[in-house]
Structure 1
Amino acid sequence: MLPWERRYRLVVALGDVVATGVAVAGAAVFSTPPESWQTVLFATVTAAALLTALVPAWDHRILGQGAEEFHRLGRALLIAAVLLAFGAVATGVGELRGWIFVVLPGAAVLCLLQRYVLRKLLHRRRAVGQCMLPVVAAGHPEALRDLIARTRRESHLGWQIRAVCTAGSSGDGADVEQIDSVPVVGDLDEVARSAREDAYRAVMISADRYWTRSRLQWLSWELEGTATEMVVAPVLMDIAGPRVHVSEVLGMPLLRLSEPVLTGPRLFVKFTVDRVGALLLLLLLSPLLFLIAVVIKADSAGPVFYRQRRVGHNGRVFTMLKFRTMVTGADRSTLGEEVTDEGAGPLFKSRRDPRMTRIGSLLRGYSMDELPQLFNVLLGDMSLVGPRPPLPNEAESYEPEMHRRFLVRPGMTGLWQVSGRSDLSWAESVRLDLRYVENWSLTLDGMILWKTVRAVVTKEGAY
């Protein structure tokens, strides 16, 4: 474990203990606590801390990334609540049971908040190259380039490939090579030596025909006793989450890939959340929508709404609503040479489009022009979360694999929105849409909705 990992784990653990103590003390102040609530405070904090350590929710390998950290924390506090309730029954303090099931959910909220804040602080440091996990990667050059690009793009995860090993290379310094500015330090059979000598945090194995079952097993043996983890990147890199299952068959581990779950109870929940959420948001935002409509009408001549044909679920064309942000007839006008197309692929985007109205740039900057799409969600043409709805002429140019984005309803927000929007390359935008379809889950939708708030406030990639 690296020194910064120890410090981060200690801060997280202390934060959890303090948050639990604050929840118990707060409940004692604002409600009627059981007798000897100081003893209850000690028992609750101790039980929560022990269960959090045993689950373990303080494992340095899960802190600062992914949903597993929050899953383990929730599981630990739930078990603690059940054990304390049984303890209350056993000691005859019956009124403690209801109190515990109020206090620990409050503690869970406080713990989640403090962990989220710490995670954001960690991600900020990683964005400038600090608190990174040094990694040596080994595999085919093309697969290594993809891995290097992914780790640089997703710097918040902390993986930093500092060296690579690939077939036909030399690590003696006589024939120094690089892959995307990362030095090649040896051949594939020198991975373990490089990991031991330079104390890498992880060895990341990418696709190459060199990696047979016996060679991977031997490498794992060679890394035993070191602080270096072995991570194997599967060939199907964009398929993860609930679709991936590991099981043992015939004495060997097999990676099972299930079909995307696009029907059933979870889809019904998504359908319900979309309709109810859209209706509540329309009611809540109705004063703002009316104000925007008035300002658009006063700012320039023309309709309040802009209607555009888009391709949705199963390739069905529908009319998408937006607040008008350009002068009337802008979609039929031609642009001069002074305007540069800054969009990705077939999409036209310009930061200084002369067709934009005065209020239009403000509406686009904060994505308020997209609020009328709530009516599309209410009608069932769109979802709150999903792939970006393409134009018909754009969809006609799609490669076969890109048609998989039509398996789900398009969304007002999605992975593309929380990952940079118009700043993304065309290939990256398509990859994110396909990744959403392949790995859709209610948890992923919740995460995207949460991140959308930050993306809208910071106006990242919006123009």
Structure 2
Amino acid sequence: MWVTDALVVGAAISWLEVHRSGNAWSQIATAVCIGLAWITALTVFRTRNTKLIGVGAAEYKAVIIASAAVFGSLAFVFLAFGRHDVQGYFLWAFPSGTLALLAGRCAWRQWLSQQRKYGHYLSRVLVLGQRKDVEYVSAQIHKCSGAAYEVVGAVLDPSQGDHALTVCGRAIPVVANPENVVSAAARVGADAVIVTGRHSGDGQYLRELGWQLEATSTELVMASSLTNVAGPRIQVRPVEGLPLIHVQQPSFAGRKHLVKRVMDVACSSLGLLVLAPLLAALAVLIKLDSSGPVLFRQQRVGKDGRNFSMYKFRSMVVDAEDQLAAIKDLNEGNGVLFKIRNDPRVTKVGRWLRKYSLDELPQLLNVVKGDMSLVGPRPPLSSEVEAYEGFTHRRLLAKPGCTGLWQINGRSDLDWDDSVRLDLYYVENWSITWDLVIMWRTVKVMLRPVGAY
């Protein structure tokens, strides 16, 4: 990554220098200073921190902030010295170089993800806690496509039994109890110990465990019991040695939502304009394939429980709703959602429209109208909302989205509890940066569809 960053920065600045005229030595000195400042900023802002790279949006965000910070500072310096011949660096080198840096990080992340599929570059961890807590944390690590951990053992209290845990079809051996976790970590070569459940609140035990692990290279990681709260909403404020965890209330209105709306309108309008030829071609194919309207309108429930008409390309025969009762017993969905892998009501064109999610492109019209957002929870049917229990109604605190965590994490292959958990997690913890990451991952999922039928 060091080499890639240096090459990208050098290329962005050198390309500009080749196309400039003037005092060669002065320009070279300026270019070298800017390049060194940029590389230094990427280091100072810890953009290559091993705890950031390879997972989440924090790495990309750090690259953008570092680049913006260095060029913002340089703008003041050049202005102070009356240098007006450097606009090209801000108009070309900064945007193109930053995009190239992000592309480089993305390429390395793809390589790293492929390596991790074969068990390379993973931190070996032990998970300590109650059996159900260990199973939950291990399952979440296993499901995460970019997880940097490999669970090599469980640490359970003797009262929890010593037989192996089975998580996602994989056996995890019980290697120790809480009293001898340090020696077990050394024996299995663990890089970290993840403490979860009841022990995460046991201050005395954690303090002593931290002291014991100081003599090794093993890290101590605590899995928060706040399972539906993301990092930006959590702040740790120590008070006389007591770490108090402040959890901010989720925001459902305000400036951030205004920015989201502006981005929705701009991106969806541009999308409709750019995709107009494709939309017209799909409409013709649908019309030629089967009789009936090109668009399918269906009542869905939006923000705050308001109903709206959602648009999709028709992928089924016209009387699909009338045939539903006859095939109800073939449901392969997750209980609440009705799904069949080989639904007989789906047309020939509709089958590949669904596979690549092309049938959902008309939802961009819903985004322009304000009924939906580009990213959000899955838009539910009224019958689904009537079956909601507990806090599931919190899904309706945000506008439904054309895409979201549900769509990029398995879609119809997910069970109902996972679908609800992902939607609630998004509603309470969304951010503009995260929306951009989800949209990018949506494009990848459309090219390599999973759970789409």
Query: Is 1:98 matched up with 2:84?
Result: no
When normalised by structure 1's length, the TM-score is 0.90
2:386 aligns with: 396
1:177 aligns with: 163
Contact 2:372 2:399 (C-alpha < 8 Å) held by counterparts: yes
Secondary structure in 2 matching 1:157? coil
Write the letter of the residue equivalent to 1:388.
R
- Superimposed CA distance per residue, residues 312-352 of structure 1 (whole angstroms, 9 cap, x where no aligned partner): 11112222111111111111115777994332222222222
Write the letter of the residue equivalent to 2:6.
V
1:426 aligns with: 416
1:350 aligns with: 340
1:151 aligns with: 141
Q: CA deviation at 1:210?
A: 7.8
Question: Which among 434, 440, 443 is matched to residue 444 of structure 1?
Answer: 434
Secondary structure in 2 matching 1:417? helix
Question: Which among 16, 19, 26 is matched to residue 27 of structure 1?
Answer: 16
Measure, in 2, the Cα distance between the counterparts of 1:337 and 1:77. Answer: 57
Write the letter of the residue equivalent to 2:437.
M
1:239 aligns with: 229
Question: Which among 66, 74, 80 is matched to residue 70 of structure 2?
Answer: 80
- Superimposed CA distance per residue, residues 382-431 of structure 1 (whole angstroms, 9 cap, x where no aligned partner): 11111011111111111121100000011111111111212222221111
**Worse overlay, 148-157 or 29-38:** 29-38
Contact 1:140 1:166 (C-alpha < 8 Å) held by counterparts: yes
Secondary structure in 2 matching 1:185? strand
Write the letter of the residue equivalent to 2:165.
I
Query: Is 1:266 matched up with 2:256?
Result: yes
Contact 2:16 2:89 (C-alpha < 8 Å) held by counterparts: no
Question: Which among 38, 48, 51 is matched to residue 61 of structure 1?
Answer: 51
- For 1:200-211, list aligned pairs within 5 A: 200-209=190-199, 211=201
Shift in CA distance, 46/136, structure 1 to aligned 2, threshold 3 Å = same
Q: Percent of aligned pairs with the same residue? A: 38
Measure, in 2, the Cα distance between the counterparts of 1:322 and 1:337. Answer: 22
Q: CA deviation at 1:155?
A: 4.0
1:192 aligns with: 182
Measure, in 1, the Cα distance between the counterparts of 2:74 and 2:363. Answer: 48
Write the letter of the residue equivalent to 2:24.
E
Measure, in 2, the Cα distance between the counterparts of 1:205 and 1:34. Answer: 61
- Superimposed CA distance per residue, residues 173-227 of structure 1 (whole angstroms, 9 cap, x where no aligned partner): xx85212221111111222222234331111010115851121112112222432
- For 1:312-327, list aligned pairs within 5 A: 312-327=302-317
Measure, in 2, the Cα distance between the counterparts of 1:96 and 1:217. Answer: 58
Shift in CA distance, 201/96, structure 1 to aligned 2, threshold 3 Å = farther
**Worse overlay, 28-37 or 275-284:** 28-37
Q: CA deviation at 1:28?
A: 1.5
Measure, in 2, the Cα distance between the counterparts of 1:431 and 1:33. Answer: 60
Write the letter of the residue equivalent to 2:204.
S
Measure, in 2, the Cα distance between the counterparts of 1:225 and 1:93. Answer: 55
Contact 1:20 1:45 (C-alpha < 8 Å) held by counterparts: yes
Contact 1:127 1:156 (C-alpha < 8 Å) held by counterparts: no
Secondary structure in 2 matching 1:255? strand
Question: Which among 165, 171, 175 is matched to residue 155 of structure 2?
Answer: 165
Contact 2:283 2:294 (C-alpha < 8 Å) held by counterparts: yes
Shift in CA distance, 188/367, structure 1 to aligned 2, threshold 3 Å = same
Contact 1:143 1:207 (C-alpha < 8 Å) held by counterparts: yes
Query: Is 1:109 matched up with 2:95?
Result: no
Contact 1:85 1:97 (C-alpha < 8 Å) held by counterparts: no
1:17 aligns with: 6
Measure, in 2, the Cα distance between the counterparts of 1:33 and 1:415. Answer: 52
Write the letter of the residue equivalent to 1:358.
K
- Superimposed CA distance per residue, residues 243-296 of structure 1 (whole angstroms, 9 cap, x where no aligned partner): 111112343111111111111111111122222322222222222222222221
**Worse overlay, 254-263 or 54-63:** 54-63
Shift in CA distance, 93/462, structure 1 to aligned 2, threshold 3 Å = same
Measure, in 1, the Cα distance between the counterparts of 2:22 and 2:39. Answer: 21
**Worse overlay, 429-438 or 71-80:** 71-80
Write the letter of the residue equivalent to 1:280.
L
Write the letter of the residue equivalent to 1:220.
G
**Worse overlay, 286-295 or 31-40:** 31-40
Q: Which structure 2 residue ranges, 5 or more long, are not aligned?
A: none
Measure, in 1, the Cα distance between the counterparts of 2:78 and 2:260. Answer: 39
Secondary structure in 1 matching 2:334? coil
Write the letter of the residue equivalent to 1:266.
K
Contact 1:382 1:411 (C-alpha < 8 Å) held by counterparts: yes
Query: Is 1:228 matched up with 2:214?
Result: no
Q: CA deviation at 1:366?
A: 1.6
Q: Which structure 1 residue ranges, 5 or more long, are not aligned?
A: 1-11
- Superimposed CA distance per residue, residues 52-88 of structure 1 (whole angstroms, 9 cap, x where no aligned partner): 2333222222221222222332333334335555665
Shift in CA distance, 133/297, structure 1 to aligned 2, threshold 3 Å = same
Shift in CA distance, 85/395, structure 1 to aligned 2, threshold 3 Å = closer
Note the aligned Cα RMSD (angstroms): 2.4
Measure, in 1, the Cα distance between the counterparts of 2:196 and 2:113. Answer: 25
Query: Is 1:309 matched up with 2:310?
Result: no
1:453 aligns with: 443
Contact 2:301 2:308 (C-alpha < 8 Å) held by counterparts: yes
